[in-house]
A and B are shown apart, each in its own frame.
Chain A
């Protein structure tokens, strides 16, 4: 199989480049991550990439594969056109090879306060929700923070410092929608700004690439309708 992989080593002083690799590899039933591990073991041990769980749960191996952001561990090799082009996630600074600096991404994530805020005295057991209230969180809590959606979003490319991006906005809505959270108003206040939320123009790249099949744009739409309901 043929691969073309983005290589960059800041210590060498050389400019980033695409390097070609050939590997005898049976693609059937294998994922891109399997091939990357094989390349690292058999061809070039200097290749650097992140991976952990290998099964689409940890979200550490988000990569741009043949032009589409996805998880290397869930991308079937058999369906990909050769040479398979593997690049780091777009618009983030590259630390080395396929490893990107996610600090901007996590700054936005932290900015939406991704935790429950409830000042009532803690109950004896847990804070209960009705099945219906709990169902509100479906399609939101599953996010694994891989960064595929945010780095596929043109609005994030143009304003990465100020637009929160689909991941953080999905998480913002996850806590707005939570019946146990008491700070909905403060959360909405934070988002009512020309940049943080309203840079989203409904391009829908986020929906297309999400490896978990989530819909950040729908969550953004719900935040917008809550903002509208609040002023009307």
Chain B
């Protein structure tokens, strides 16, 4: 049985951030190969890269993971430097909302490619 004591969130977020880094690395390698296979990149070719649904989904996943990774990093910075809870929680919340906005915006951009 576990002791009541730790909030048990340290590990989950730490691990999520590292798993996210792995997903981002895989996407970047995959995307470079995908772009390289597509041949010389002019605007039309670049545009064409994002037409398949798979590319849209993978790119959205990449941005989602990037935002989560970054939010966990920001939370670490806030825990280290912003000690008053009354400031830290609104800051974390504000960035969560901002990042959610970024994610919706990304989806809008990606699904705007036809």
Chain A positions within 8 Å of B, measured between CB atoms, are 155, 158-159, 186, 189-199, 201, 224, 227-228, 231
Contact with A along B1-12 (1 / 0, CB 8 A): 011011111110
A198/B80 contact (C-beta < 8 A), A190-B6, A192-B6 known: no
Inter-chain contact B3/A193, CB cutoff 8 Å: no
Q: How far is the CB of A53 from chain B (nearest CB, A)?
A: 36
Ordered by A's residue number, 11 sampled pairs between the chains whose C-beta atoms are within 8 Å are: A158-B80, A159-B79, A186-B3, A190-B5, A192-B6, A192-B8, A193-B10, A195-B10, A195-B79, A224-B11, A228-B11
Inter-chain contact B81/A198, CB cutoff 8 Å: no
Bound complex: CA A153 to CA B14 (Å): 19
Bound complex: CA A84 to CA B76 (Å): 36
Residues from chain A with Cβ under 8 Å of B76 in the complex = 201
Of the residues A155, A159, A194, A224, contact of B7 by C-beta under 8 Å: A194
Bound complex: CA A159 to CA B78 (Å): 12
Additional 20 contacts, C-beta under 8 A, given A201-B76, A224-B14? A158-B81, A159-B80, A186-B3, A189-B2, A190-B3, A190-B5, A192-B6, A192-B11, A193-B5, A193-B9, A194-B6, A194-B13, A194-B79, A196-B10, A197-B10, A198-B10, A198-B14, A199-B80, A228-B11, A231-B11
Contact with A along B38-58 (1 / 0, CB 8 A): 000000000000000000000
The majority secondary structure among interface residues of chain B is helix
**How many residues on chain B are close to A (CB under 8 Å)?**
16
Inter-chain contact B80/A196, CB cutoff 8 Å: no
Residues from chain A with Cβ under 8 Å of B94 in the complex = none
Q: Does B104 sit at the interface, judged by CB under 8 A?
A: no
Which of A155, A190, A192, A195 has the largest count of B CB atoms less than 10 A from its CB?
A192
Bound complex: CA A192 to CA B3 (Å): 10
Within residues 1 to 45 of chain B, which ones have a CB less than 8 A from any CB in chain A? 2-3, 5-11, 13-15
